């Protein structure tokens, strides 16, 4: 991963941002987390995956597409992981205010397109709230992209139970980290951590950690280690497939955000 090549907002002058606004640029805000990912993955796993996907997506963009990547919000809402050392978390009200204030600043700079690129499941709620508030306050297009809500590639050969229950530190995240930052993955500590969700699926009708009828959970509720999923089969090759796939869906979202007709937004 070489995030230095991203079109960073902060590398421009004030006049440069004004020029991007005149070209109707898309502002992109990377949003992630610093939190426990078990004994085999570092605290910045979501941060590295989010920037890795964004880097791969931006490499496919047309050179004349005006983009500005805002400084990442690496610490947001990780309440569900606060029972484990190392996790950094903001109160939801603080995180929401942070996103709202950043969006206000983007709007003041003259940009009307904002894409929230989120790589942490615990941030989905604040993304929804912030996006609607910014839409109402500024008439902005605010798009929310969460890679983990996208369908996996057909060739990934990931077992259905892992896709459904391997929510945190499992095969998918570990594989992408083995591709993006292999020096930070401790595969000797990778293990199978069955989720409470798999047990509930055999006993209950619809209630599960994530899905049609979800309950609020702390990471230790799903497995004592704070990890859910089987990371043992993660390979760099699988990680490459996943990064390329999720980067394609992110690239499509960026292009759509750029060409969306803003007259569709009611006054």
| pLDDT tens digits for range 205-220 | 999 999 899 999 999 9
Contacts of 263 (CB under 8 A, 6+ apart): none
Please say if the pLDDT value at position 7 is more than 70: yes
More confidently predicted of 267 and 261: 261
pTM over 0.75: yes
Domain made up of 11-264: CATH architecture: 3-Layer(aba) Sandwich (3.40)
What is the C-alpha separation between 230 and 234, in angstroms, rounded? 8
For 144: left if phi > 0, alpha if psi spans -120 to 50, otherwise beta; the answer is beta
Element (H, E) at 230: strand 229-230
Element (H, E) at 248: helix 236-259
Name the DSSP class of 67: E
Mean pLDDT computed over 125-148: 98
Residue spans of the domains in the chain: they are: 11-264
pLDDT at 5: 82
pLDDT at 2: 60
The listed range with the strongest mean pLDDT (4-13, 157-166, 256-265) is 256-265
Mean pLDDT computed over 38-61: 97
Mean pLDDT computed over 192-206: 96
What is the C-alpha separation between 29 and 16, in angstroms, rounded? 18
Of 41, 146, 26, 145, the residue nearest 87 (C-alpha): 41
Mean pLDDT computed over 111-134: 98
**Which of 100-127 are b and which e, b meaning 16 or more Cβ less than 10 Å from the residue's Cβ?**
bebbeebbebebbbbbbbbbbbbbbebb
Mean pLDDT computed over 228-244: 96
Please say if the pLDDT value at position 120 is more than 60: yes
Which range (97-106, 145-154, 211-220, 223-232) has the least confidence? 145-154
What is the C-alpha separation between 214 and 51, in angstroms, rounded? 29
CA dihedral angle for residue 178, residue 198, residue 117, residue 250, rounded to 10 degrees: 70
pLDDT at 247: 98
């Amino acid at each position: 991963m070489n995030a230095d090549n991203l079109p960073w907002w902060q590398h421009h002058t004030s006049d440069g941002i004004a020029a991007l606004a005149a070209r109707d640029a898309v502002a992109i805000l990377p949003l992630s987390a610093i939190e426990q990912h078990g004994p085999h993955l570092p605290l910045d796993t979501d941060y590295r995956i989010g920037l890795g996907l964004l880097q791969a997506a931006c490499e496919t963009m047309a050179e004349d597409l005006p983009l500005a990547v805002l400084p990442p919000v690496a610490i947001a809402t990780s309440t569900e992981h606060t029972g484990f050392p190392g996790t950094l978390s903001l109160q939801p009200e603080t995180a929401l205010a942070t996103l709202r204030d950043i969006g206000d600043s983007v709007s003041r700079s003259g940009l009307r397109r904002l894409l929230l690129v989120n790589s942490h499941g615990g941030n989905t709620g604040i993304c929804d709230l912030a996006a609607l508030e910014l839409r109402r306050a500024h008439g902005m297009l605010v798009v929310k992209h969460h890679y983990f809500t996208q369908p996996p590639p057909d060739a990934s050969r990931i077992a259905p139970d892992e896709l459904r229950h391997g929510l945190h530190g499992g095969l998918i995240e570990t594989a992408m980290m083995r591709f993006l930052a292999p020096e930070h993955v401790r595969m000797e500590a990778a293990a199978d951590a069955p989720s409470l969700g798999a047990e509930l699926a055999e006993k209950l009708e619809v209630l599960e950690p994530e899905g049609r009828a979800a309950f609020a959970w702390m990471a230790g509720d799903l497995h004592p280690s704070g990890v859910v999923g089987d990371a043992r089969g993660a390979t760099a090759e699988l990680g490459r497939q996943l990064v390329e796939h999720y980067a394609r869906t992110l690239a499509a979202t960026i292009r759509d955000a750029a060409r969306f007709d803003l007259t569709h937004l009611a006054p």
